[in-house]
A = this chain, B = another copy of it.
Amino acid sequence: MKTIGLITDFGNKDWYVAEMKLMIRSLCDVEIVDITHEIDEFDIDKAKFLLLQANRIMPEHSVTIAVIDPGVGSDRKSIVLRSGNKYFIGPNNGIFDYITDIKSECFQIKEETFSEVSNTFHGRDIFAPLASKIICGENTDKYITPCECRGKGMKNPTVKDNLIIGQVIYIDKFGNAITNIDHTYYEDIKRGNIIFGEEKIEFVNSYSESSGRSAIFNSSGFLEITSYKGEYSENLKIGEVVQIEVRRHM
């Protein structure tokens, strides 16, 4: 099934999401999946992580459009990023960082080849038509041209002596703080001391085991600092450090 995913900061109060969807549907018969439209205004950091999740959950041959675009109408460029058989379209403002790796292919969008382009809504005027062309198999050579991928990748945890030092990269609606420490560190974490801020916290296997702030591997494979029913979700911020004291040879 042809699928287009949408990640925007448009919210659900206005008509912008509907306008993009109706544009897509007018061009191509496709399933549209809302990933989210409730990214905080121009929150590039959240967008990065949501695109990482989109890359994991969207089906093969899908297209994901991401519109978190404070620079719309300026000379900022837009790109198509191809990761395996999945395509991602949006402004080249850092949102693609976490899905960029050495296998990614990037294409700059030739905005001038689209007709009737506003300075304020490229989601409707460029990204939606281009996504429709890609997913419905139209030749897109006219609209895009290969370019270098400039995404920085995701910052990996620092491993130093007996320390693994990661950081919070996303906070979800439950107040869970997701870190950049992935499942490859599972054994070290299980046996190590987990220090979050000043606090030593416990490693648990399910949310219900936690009786305060604790650490868990979440459903997308990252170490997550739980909020214990929201009680510990305040004052969390992206970038906050999580430190694991590994007891590898003890």
A interface residues, Cβ below 8 angstroms from B:
1, 3, 5, 10-19, 21-22, 25-26, 29, 31, 33-39, 41-42, 50, 53-54, 57-59, 70-74, 76, 118-121, 124-125, 172-174, 205-209, 216-219, 229-230
Contacts A1-B25, A120-B207, A172-B13 hold; do A230 and B41 have CB atoms under 8 A apart?
Answer: yes
Query: Which of B57, B120, B229 is A22 in contact with, Cβ under 8 Å?
Result: B57
- Chain B residue numbers with a CB within 8 Å of A70 are 207-208, 229
Are B229's CB and A41's CB within 8 A?
A: yes
Contact present for A120 and B33 (CB under 8 Å): no
Contact partners of A172 in chain B: CB under 8 A? 13-14, 16
* Nearest-Cβ distance from residue A19 to partner chain B, whole angstroms: 5
A71 to B207 CA separation, bound complex (whole angstroms):
7
User: Smallest CB-CB separation from A219: which chain B residue?
Assistant: B121
Whole-angstrom distance between the alpha carbons of A41 and B176 in the complex?
Answer: 12
Tell me if A12 and B25 are in contact (CB < 8 A). no
Q: Would you give the shortest CB distance from A206 to chain B, in whole angstroms?
A: 3
CB distance from A187 to the nearest CB of B (A): 17
Question: Judging by beta carbons under 8 Å apart, are B76 and A208 in contact?
Answer: yes
Q: In the complex, what's the smallest C-beta–C-beta distance from A62 to chain B, in angstroms? A: 9
Complex Cα gap A73–B209 (Å)? 9
Asked if B72 and A173 sit within 8 Å, CB to CB, the answer is: no
Check if A216 sits within 8 Å of B120, measured CB to CB.
yes
Q: Which residue of B lies closest to A33 (CB)?
A: B18
Task: Decide: A15 near B54, CB < 8 A? Known: A33-B21, A120-B219.
Answer: yes
Which B residues lie within 8 Å of A17 (CB)? 34
CA distance A208 to B37 in the complex (A): 21
Partner of A15, one of B3, B36, B73, B207: B36
User: Which of B18, B219, B229 is in CB contact (< 8 Å) with A57?
Assistant: B18
User: Which residue of B has the minimal Cβ distance to A37?
Assistant: B12
Which B residues touch A15, using CB under 8 A? 35-36, 50, 53-54, 57
A14 contacts B36, C-beta separation under 8 Å: yes
Q: Are B58 and A22 in contact (CB under 8 A)?
A: yes
Q: A206 to B10, Cβ gap below 8 A?
A: no
Chain B residues positioned under 8 Å from A120 (CB to CB): 206-207, 216-219
- Give the complex CA separation of A10 and B35 in angstroms: 12
CA distance A5 to B119 in the complex (A): 26
Q: How far is the CA of A71 from the CA of B1 in the complex (A)?
A: 34
